[in-house]
Structure 1
Amino acid sequence: MSAFLYVLMIFLWGLSWISIKWQHGDVPMEVSIFYRFIIAALVMLIIGKLWRKLQPVTRVDHYYIALQGVCLFCCNFLAFYSATLYIPSGLVAVLMATAPIYNALHSRLFYGTTTHANFWIGALLGLIGISLLFAGDLAQTSWSSDTLMGLVFSLVGTWCFSIGNMLSIRNTKHNVTPYTATCYAMFYGCGALLIIIFVRGLSFEFSMTTQYIGSLMYLAIPASVLGFTFYLILVDRLGASNAAYILVLTPIVALSASAIFESYQWTTYSTLGLLLVIVGNVFIQRKKSLLPSMKQRLSV
């Protein structure tokens, strides 16, 4: 079951990045994100009520679910949507592949989870890979502000995503199911977005184009309702670092979509960089360190 969810998630979230790109236009970014998650939250609420999937939650749990919602369904997507204004959506997906590194560090900080030697090897390979992925763009643009802004927004969004993962672990430890937490968290995220929209004086415009409506519905239902529910189930079953390994494989789908729809050009640097990101995260996932076997060989 977990293997099936893994494969499904790779495609659900891999294709979501180009859909995010298609949301840019006449509708303010904050409003588009609000539309996405209010649709998703209402769908989850209706399903939860009809099939009795929503459980009662204590007031204290609501505080943590609210924080989870602000991180997962407001702040991180404001950062990700902003990032796609500056760099191809596939590259944003690649930068989100650093989530296992964030999760490993945050798990150690908040829950005392230890990291093994392979983690540091994988982290180094991943960082080199990301540098190679951006090497071509930086060389062509002479370190343009657009590329750097896209880089910063992507990393900030991934950090918020990881904090949301940590809050999800806390909620699961207190017997709040992923479905309940996701549903309520989406409503809290929408509340935070509403505050931003009203403070900034943005209008609730809507685009009737096929591209906007189609990408919005894809982001709301498959990518959000199914995607986040399945992902948080995997976080519960496998742990935050292992579940985040999905994000290492989604860039393959996302960059392929960017090549088709955004004219993203694959280069030797980008191909090698993506491979290093994947290999680095494979090292991170290995539980048995390679160092003891190396020492044994040397002793022989």
Structure 2
Amino acid sequence: MNNTLLYVLTVLIWGSTWIAINYQLGDVAPEASLVYRFGLAAAVLFVFCWIKKLPLAFNLRQHAQIMAFGLCLFGVNYYFLYLAQQHINSALTCIGFSTMMIINILNARFWYKTKITKQVYYGAALGLFGIITLFWPQINDIDIGAETLLGLSLCLAGTLFASSGNMLSIKNQQMKLPVMQTNAWGMAYGSLFMAVLALVRGVEFNFSLTLPYVSSLLYLSIFGSVIAFGCYLTLLGRIGAHKASYATVMFPAVAVVISTFVEGFVWDLTTVIGFICIMLGNLVVLSPSKQAAKEESGSQKRQTEVCEQEITPAKA
């Protein structure tokens, strides 16, 4: 798939998963649902790899790195985000998690010395401003007390782990570890971690055989995990975390559009301004920079000159 399709699939799928997550809440503990989600996703990936005869064997050092990747991206970060939502509303959680783009920019700079253009910073700032504006009615009356600060701290901790998982995914791909197989093992490790954590906390592993729960679990496992994470992590390796992570800012915008049709959400001025800022930020971040365009133009010019020299017959 080309980068555009990978990005669009990631944004559309993860922007719609909030509907499925709503159906997961209720009789089954969130920790148990996460175990089911990533356990099923890992099983699907392992079966796919087996059918396609993709190698699943890794050495001990590679498994240690894949385990760290899986715990960060498919385990610990989700646990902290679930804890955060016990203290703050979903709007604040969404805003907190959207800061992953800024964290990814800093981490990419720290881990890989990635050069970040000014337009990425401008686009990120515009996108985050759009997110805050989009959710302003929900956060306007919130009192910044100990409970809110605790929730935001937990949310930030989860986001830091998610960003670390992003960096480890890039490292995996630099080591030529295939995305599909590392995702299979990573989700298995993440599911195992959540299972152990749930057992330690005394969480009951019940299951709901209702159509809404089962169908939402299948959607989150197949589309939200197998497909979306595959697209997103592939994109990380191709265009860098500082650009790919703008998808986390786009999710709420997609969710608002879906809510408009599904739940009858009514737009107001803050919704319009927030949505426009998010979309403009997306264009700023993902548009080729002038420097990149100049380098590409120069590269094409050099290739043309080489071709012309090869075609022109040598003089006697």
Give the TM-score band, short-chain normalised: 0.7 to 0.9
Q: Spell out, residue by residue over 1:33-88, the C-alpha distance to the aligned partner (whole angstroms, 9 max, x if none).
A: 00001011111111111211234212111111111111111122223445566534
Does structure 1 conserve the Cα–Cα contact (< 8 Å) formed by 2:250 and 2:278? no
Q: Spell out, residue by residue over 1:167-190, the C-alpha distance to the aligned partner (whole angstroms, 9 max, x if none).
A: 001111111000111000011101
Q: Distance in 1 between matches of 2:36 and 2:64?
A: 23
The letter for the 2-side match of 1:68 is F
Q: Distance in 2 between matches of 1:23 and 1:272?
A: 31
Moved more, 167-176 or 119-128: 119-128
Alpha-carbon distance change, 151 to 285 in structure 1, aligned in 2, over 3 angstroms: farther
Q: Distance in 1 between matches of 2:31 and 2:265?
A: 26
Matches within 5 A, 1:24-103: 24-82=25-83, 86-88=88-90, 96-103=97-104
Q: How many residues align?
A: 289
Give how far 1:282 is off. Answer: 3.3
| TM-score, with length taken from structure 2 | 0.80
Secondary structure in structure 1 of the residue aligned to 2:168:
helix
| Coordinate RMSD, CA, aligned | 2.7
Q: Unaligned stretches of 5+ in structure 1?
A: 291-300
The letter for the 1-side match of 2:19 is I
Q: Distance in 2 between matches of 1:253 and 1:270?
A: 12
Q: Spell out, residue by residue over 1:14-47, the C-alpha distance to the aligned partner (whole angstroms, 9 max, x if none).
A: 1112212221111111001000010111111111
Is 1:212–2:213 an aligned residue pair?
yes
Does structure 2 conserve the Cα–Cα contact (< 8 Å) formed by 1:99 and 1:244? yes
Q: Distance in 1 between matches of 2:243 and 2:174?
A: 17
The structure with the larger Rg is: 2
Alpha-carbon distance change, 150 to 12 in structure 1, aligned in 2, over 3 angstroms: farther
Q: Distance in 1 between matches of 2:249 and 2:213?
A: 27
Give how far 1:148 is off. Answer: 6.4
Does structure 1 conserve the Cα–Cα contact (< 8 Å) formed by 2:11 and 2:247? yes
Task: Give every structure 1 segment of 4 or more consecutive aligned residues whose post-TM-superposition deviation is greater than 6 Å.
Answer: 144-150
Q: Distance in 2 between matches of 1:255 and 1:19?
A: 15
Residue in structure 1 matched with residue 135 of structure 2 by the alignment: 134
The letter for the 1-side match of 2:248 is L
Q: Distance in 2 between matches of 1:273 and 1:149?
A: 26
| TM-score, with length taken from structure 1 | 0.84
Q: Unaligned stretches of 5+ in structure 2?
A: 292-316
Residue in structure 2 matched with residue 273 of structure 1 by the alignment: 274
Is 1:257–2:258 an aligned residue pair?
yes
Q: Distance in 2 between matches of 1:197 and 1:262?
A: 33
The letter for the 2-side match of 1:216 is L
Q: Spell out, residue by residue over 1:245-267, the C-alpha distance to the aligned partner (whole angstroms, 9 max, x if none).
A: 33333322212334455665533
